[in-house]
Structure formats: structure tokens, C-alpha cells
Structure 1
Amino acid sequence: MSQKIDRRTYLRGMGGAGVATTAGLMGTLQQDGGPDMLTIIGYPQSGIQLFRDLYATGQSLDVLVPDGLQSSTLPQEVGNDMQNVTGTAPAAAGPNQEAFNQLFQDQYNQPPGVFTSQSYDSVAILILANAAAGENSGSAIRDQMRRIANPGGQEFGPQNFVEGVRAAVNGDDINYQGASSTTNFDQNGDPAAASYDVWKFAPQTEDGVRTVNTRRFESNAGGPSADSAPGGTGRTIRVGILLPETGDLGSVGTPMIQASRLPIQQVNQSDLDLQVETQVEDTQTDRQASLSGANALINAGYPAISGPASSGNNIPVASEVYIPNEIVGCSPSSTAITVSRLQDNDYVFRTAPSDLLQGQVMAQVAAERLGAQSASTLFVNNDYGQQLSEQFSQAFQQDHDGQVNNQVAFNIGESSYTSVINQALGG
């Protein structure tokens, strides 16, 4: 009999109250009437204090987190090995994942991290679409996005990216196959294929996490696309980068920026009669800084921008800057469901999948891997946190007959999270 079945049977017999969870690492008892497990949705910087406060309660229960909290340094900063934590994250599972991994390792002498493959793919696609468009025009680039990414034409990836750009400027039909996925776009500008890793913190490994297993999803590619490409050489392609170097996502954003620079370097170091110019603006994981950075890039003449990273920043930037100014935005890590529903005139894309899928994956992990029958959520108070909390809760209840005790919001940058933790853990 599997571990998960043992634990579910035991919980039924004990009513779920006063029972130590699978992790059992702190040797204390679960709060009477509280949930079997806690789902925490947030970002690394706030996560440090939040997890310190959680462990200070002495609660011994499983914790489930999404990609926003996948930081290899988090256990060290929290002061706990965090082995009661299980995570889910969009996976780097594209057909050319290994080629990207080698590029990143060779350039930076370290393994790529979460959302680095999506960052490479985002910038690579924007370069290809610009090369095919033959001009630094947002509307022209928009019309080429699916033409160079979706099925049909010769396949190219990170390992032969320069040849893909050469084909794009020649007006050839190409199909970019990425590191993160096949990078085919659907009607909403979302990836039509996606994979999710289930992971654990592993401080003894080089990248600080280990993958437990991977789940894959497929949907239909489609949407408006140009019929042909003007192309042309002897010009400069302009691609902006709007990602966090500081703030709550600074530790995640830095390697994302490193990955974003790789396709630019590949073109600039080639013999193509093209140059790629870029400018990096720090979102600071802050709404106003993101808007200011986006406007700075537009004022500098960038027609296409990779970023922002978080949905809390991507949605206002898309609504207030990209769409009204006819700028193509392609986020490598904004996963909120709202992004798919924007009235964007097809200017907003992303290489990270929607949380509509991640909520399902998290609910399955909670029920089947962790054996939980009840759960509470603690979520960062923005679109990303609210919507993923709702999607997890809905899937956990409808698909797995789970009970959701509480959904509790928290704000970034608080000095203590004890109060919201107690609300979430209350019966």
C-alpha cells in the first residue's frame, strides 16, 4: 500500500484533527480543527518572513507552493531545510531544453533556474518576429508572432537560433521550437503546450531543488497571423527587457535576465547583417516601477518587450502601456488567468502557461501525493495570488472531494505574518 493511501486512511480514522502530517519534521501536533495542509502563494522575499513565522508556530503540516516561491536560497534564508514543502512550477520541457541548458551553463557556469527557459524563448521569439517583420513596428511584429512560432515551416531552436533568424529575414516559413515548450501560441497568445514539475527543496544539490515528476498538457495552436514576411537585413532589431532585478522577485529575476540576453548575444556575435539592441529596466517587483520602466522602453523606441515577470505588474503594464501604444509584450512568467482575458488587440503574449492549469496540478498534488482531505490557502494579495488560490480551491473541491477551510490574503513586505497564518490554520 502506498504512503499516500496509508495517510488518507489514517486521517479518516482520526478525523484529521491532532494528527502529525507526512512531513512530521517538527514533532508537534497539528492545530485542532485545522487543515491537513497549507497552500502558500507568494514571492521569495516575503516568503522568508512568512515561513519563519509559520515554523515559529510549531505546526507540523504539509505545505504546497507554486513557482513564485521556487528560490534555491529560501531554506537557508528561512533557517529550515523546508522538507515539509512540495512545489509545482511550469517546467522547462520543450524539445530543445537540453540545448538551452548547455548554452546557459556555458555562459554563466551555473544551471538555469525557474522561468529561465521561458525568458530565453520570449526574447528569441520577439527577435524572430521582428526579423520577419523587417521593421521595428509593434503591429508588424504582432502579425509575425504566430507565423514564426506555430506549426508549419522549418524547425529551429536555441541550438541553431542564428540560422532561424537568417531564415526569418529571408521570408521563409519557420517554426521556432523552444526550451520551455514547443512555444506554439493559442488564440489568447498563451502557450498551446505546457508542462509542470512537482519539486522539493534540495539544498545539497547545485540548483537547490529536485524534480519529483512532470505533468504535460496540450491544447490547440491558432490565432491571427501574417501570410508572409518582408524580412530584410542591414538593420537593427530592438527588443526591450522589463524584469525584476530587485524587490520580491529580484532573486528569480536576475537569472531570467541572464537567459534573456543569450539570444541577443547569439545574433550579435554571428555573421548576420543584423544587430540586436536591448535595454533592461528593473520592475523592482513593483507596479509603479514596472509602469515607469515600460514607458522608458517605449520612449527609447522599443516596439516589443519581454516582461514583466509577475502578473501583478504585467496586467497594469499591458493595459496601460502595451495595448494603447501598440507594443508587443511577451511575459516569460506572468501566469494569472486575467492575462488570457485582456482585450489586447493581440498585443499580449506569454511563454508561461496560465494558472488555470497550475491550479489543477496543485490540487492533484495536494490530494494524491500529500493525501490531504482539507486545505487552507495563504495568498499574496494581487491577481496572481487571488486567482491561483481560487483555481486550486475549486479543483481541490470539485475534482478531489477536498475541503477548503480558509482562503486568506497577505500583503508583500509585512514585518510579521503570524496573524494571517493563524487565520489560515484556524478550524
Structure 2
Amino acid sequence: MRFSRAVIAAACVSLFSLSACSSGPDDSQNSAYQGAYLYGTDGNMANEFGAIFKEQPGLLSGMKGTMPLTELDESFLQRLRSVKPGLKDLLFAGEAYDAVVISALAAQQAGSTEPAKIAKYINAVTVGGTICRTVKQCLTLAEAGRPISYRGVTVRYGFAEAGEPATTSYGTVHFDSANQLDGGKTEYLGTGNERDVTGQKPPTPVKGGTTTKPLTFGGLLPKTGALAYTTPPMEAGALLAVAEVNAAGGVLGKPVKWIDGDDGTSPVKAKATIESHHAAGVQVLIGPGASGVALASLPDSIRYGMVMFSPCNTSPDLTGFEDKGLYFRTAPSDVLQARALADVMLRDGLQKIAIVTHSDNYGKKLAEGVTKELVKAGISEVSVQTYVYQITDGGEVKDEAELTRIASQVVPTRPDGVLVIGYSESAGAIKALAAAGANIRH
């Protein structure tokens, strides 16, 4: 399922004075040029990101973007907020919950908490068995040695062979005049293909089973660094799942455990945390946050024979990574997000687009994907220009002056739309564009 590629010219609302109402490639060069739409992605479309602009009221008003997002029911929201009251965002909360639950079900069906055995059952518990929707129902079936198909908060169909969702849901979200997301404008889009569900015959579930080593999860989420603001909802989802698994009797007769940990939005920090978790007996890592951090630290996880299960990695490079069957994710590949985001931009009638992205794998790969989709839809390759700024291992901007230089290059080209890809540091890119004369219209 895809967004319509129809151009809706009547929907034009100018944002940047850098026009989304362009009817042809030359319109942006005439005196009627009024500005461009501003877009973001899952790395920066969050209330906590908007809070960075407290000194610039309304600067993000009208900015819109896409993110992996499933419409969450009220029961789940209430349970989530009971774990973390005052939660401001929901990004990847459901994905984190499902990652923990799927791992627990896989351990129960494997009859073991050995990571390699758990890994063999992770895809299996999402395909080819009795459909179950609650932790209690699924664990009861698993304990009885029954094949199951878990249908959770975000997993609405089975996993593909690569250990990721075959189908998913995206949300198109909008910032309001208070630099906060306007929930009333959120639209949901189903995408992916059910035919991509793994066709491998699942292993036979083990009935019953006990263990001397309880299933232990190790948090590998960005509690610090440029993605720190995304951790609260993921942590809430993971802790809720741990609590509900234990309320349902645990795994193999023992309560499951959670050991906190930080990936620091940094490969160096992530590797140190993985080493610490290994020493503590962790079998399943939940995280990391950034795709670049995952690509850099996954070899360490594999070396220790641990399962790495991320709720938020989206880089396409992770799909074919030589992971020895130990890497999984509940977040979809950015191959799907690139399509959704390009379609949102095309519906606004764009003809000339500037993409400003950080240098992490996540940003560069998503920029490439969006460009590919726009060109496939008929936009000229020369009409999509990408500008890359460098970030540190911790996800911070290496050189603020580089943002100023990029902004001074983007503004005179007068694009119809500007897509900013990054984490919290991308706020600096938006501020630089405004400082360079990009008049944001509301």
C-alpha cells in the first residue's frame, strides 16, 4: 500500500521563504516564489525535539514528516504511562514492547535461554501457528509446545527472513505553532508486503522446559547523546513488556530480568555496554538506537554470541548484514520510509528539493532512498540536491560553521521543499537555515 503520487496543487501552504505551489520546474525562479515546505523524519519528528526550539516559538509550525508509527490503543497507552508517567512521545514504544515479548516467546518455545537457540525461534513465533495477541495467551500456548503467530502492538503480520517486519505502518505527523506534534493531524499508512513473510519452516516448539539461567535483557538504548530524547518511550515499552511477561509467569519457570544500559549514541559507548552486559550474563540486547551504532557494534555482539534486537534501527544496510542469525529489529527498513516520505513530498507538488542530512549511515542512506523514489516519480535528478554535515561518534555536530555554509548554499537555490534528516543535532541545521534568511511562514 502506497501514498497516491497525485500532485495536489490546491494543498499548497508555504513555509520556508527559500514554493511548494510550483507548477513547473521554472516557477521557483520567478518573482512569485514564496517559500518551501519543511520536512523531517523519525529522528527529529518528536515533541522533545520541538522543545529544543523554546527560544524560537513557532519556528517548526507546519513542518511535517514520516516515522514508523502504529495507531496505539488506549489500553496500551495507559499501561505504558503507568510505567513512565508524563511520557511526552511514543516513538518506537510499541516496537520496544514487541521486541521484548517476541524474545521471551522465542526463549519459551526454544526451551532454552541460550542466545543461539532463542534466535532460531524469533521469526518462528510470528508465523505459522495459532494467532495470539496477549502476553498471557501467547506464553500459555508456547508452554504447551504449540506453534504461535504473535500479533502484538506493532507486529501485525509475520517477520521476513531477515528478521524484520514484512509489513509496517507509518505515520505522517505535523508540528503546530507551539513546536509540538499536532495529534489531530496524524495520518497512518500501511506499507510493505505480506508475501515477504519468511517461508522457512519454523523449528518444532519445545514443550515445557526449564532453565538454570533466567532470560536476561540488556538495555542498549541511547540514554545519552544526540538520540537521548528518544529513549523514554522505548524504555517504557521494554519495561512494560518485562513486567507483563513476569506477571504471566515468566519464561521457563523463572522471572525475566532487565539490566539497564546506555549506547550513548556512540559506537565506543555501545561496545563498552555490550561487554558489560556479556559479563553480567545478558542473552538479549534491546537496542541500539542509531543504525550507525548498530553497524559498528554488531560485530561485538556477534563475537559474544548475544542476540541484538533493536526497536528502532532502520538502515537498509542492516537487512543483509552477516549477523550469524543473531540480529533482529521490529522497526522497518528505511527502504519503506523513503517511499512514504517521497510520496508525502510529491503530494505537495514539489519540483526542486534540498536534502540536508548528517553523515551517519541512517541519514545518508535515507537521503539516497528518498532521492531514488523522487527520481522514479519523475523529478529530475539535478532537482534533488543533498547537503551532508559531519557529526561526531556521539551524534553531535562537528563544526557549527559547516551548518552555516550549507544554509548559505541552500537558501539561494529557492527549493520547493527542504528535508532535514538527523537526530537532536539537526535542530542546528534548521536554525542555521532560518538565520540564513529562510523566512518561515505560517
Give the TM interval when normalised to the shorter protein: 0.7 to 0.9
Equivalent pairs, count: 383
Contact 2:175 2:181 in 1 (8 A): no
* Of 260, 269, 285, the match for 2:265: 285
Q: String of CA shifts for 1:107-137, please: whole Å, max 9, x gaps.
A: 3344651111111111111111112222221
Cα displacement string for residues 181-201 of structure 1 (whole angstroms, at most 9, x for unaligned residues): 315210111201111111101
**Cα deviation, residue 422, structure 1:** 2.4
* Shift in Å, 1:254: 2.2
Q: Which residue of 1 aligns with 2:389?
A: 410
Q: 2:300 matched to which residue of 1?
A: 321
**1:100 matched to which residue of 2?**
76
Identity %: 22
Q: Deviations over 1:159-189 (max 9, x none)?
A: x313322322332222111212315210111
Larger RCO (CA within 8 A; separation ≥ 6): 2
Structure 2 residue 36 is the aligned partner of structure 1 residue 61: yes
For the 8 Å contact 2:169–2:189, the answer to whether it is kept is yes
Partner residue of 2:275 out of 289, 292, 295? 295
Q: 1:20 to 1:307 in 2, by over 3 A?
A: farther
* Match runs of 1:174-253 below 5 Å: 174-182=148-156, 184-202=158-176, 209-219=183-193, 220-222=196-198, 224=200, 225-233=202-210, 236-253=214-231
**One-letter identity of the residue aligned with 2:339:** Q
Report the aligned-residue RMSD: 2.6
Please give the alpha-carbon distance, in whole angstroms, between the structure 1 residues aligned to 2:375 and 2:229: 34
- Among 304, 313, 320, the residue aligned to 2:284: 304
| Structure 2 counterpart of 1:15 | 27
Aligned AA (1:76): A
Cα 1:9–1:20 change in 2 (3 A) is closer
Q: Does the CA contact (< 8 Å) of 1:133 and 1:231 recur in 2?
A: no
Structure 1 unaligned blocks of 5 or more: 22-28, 30-59
C-alpha deviations, 1:23-66, integer Å up to 9, x for none? xxxxxx5xxxxxxxxxxxxxxxxxxxxxxxxxxxxxx4211111
Q: Are 2:318 and 1:339 aligned?
A: yes
- The two structures have a TM-score, normalised by structure 1, of 0.82
**What CA distance in whole angstroms lies between the structure 2 residues aligned with 1:405 and 1:305?**
38
Quick check: 2:311–2:329 contact (8 Å CA) kept in 1? yes
8 Å CA contact 1:330, 1:350 repeated in 2:
yes
Deviates more, 1:354-363 or 1:412-421: 412-421
In structure 2, relative to structure 1, the CA distance for the partners of 1:297 and 1:172 (3 Å cut) is same
How many angstroms does 1:407 deviate by? 1.0
1:366 aligns with 2:345: yes
Give me the whole-angstrom Cα distance separating, in 2, the residues matched to 1:263 and 1:125. 10
**Does the 8 A contact of 2:104 with 2:245 survive in 1?**
no
Secondary structure (helix, strand or coil) at the match of 2:388 reads strand
For 2:407, the aligned partner's letter is I
Question: Which has the larger strand fraction?
Answer: 1
1:284 is aligned with what amino acid? G
Q: Which moved more, 1:371-380 or 1:222-231?
A: 222-231
**1:421 is matched with which residue?**
407
CA gap 1:205/1:262 in 2 versus in 1, 3 angstroms: farther
Letter in 1 for 2:80: F
- Give the match's secondary structure for 2:145: coil
The match for 2:90 is 113
Task: Quote the Cα distance in structure 1 between the aligned partners of 2:57 and 2:306.
Answer: 44
Task: Classify 1:372/1:167 alpha carbon distance in 2 versus 1 (closer, same or farther; 3 Å).
Answer: same
- TM-aligned CA deviation for residue 401 of structure 1: 2.4
Instruction: Name the TM-score, length of structure 2 as normaliser.
Output: 0.79
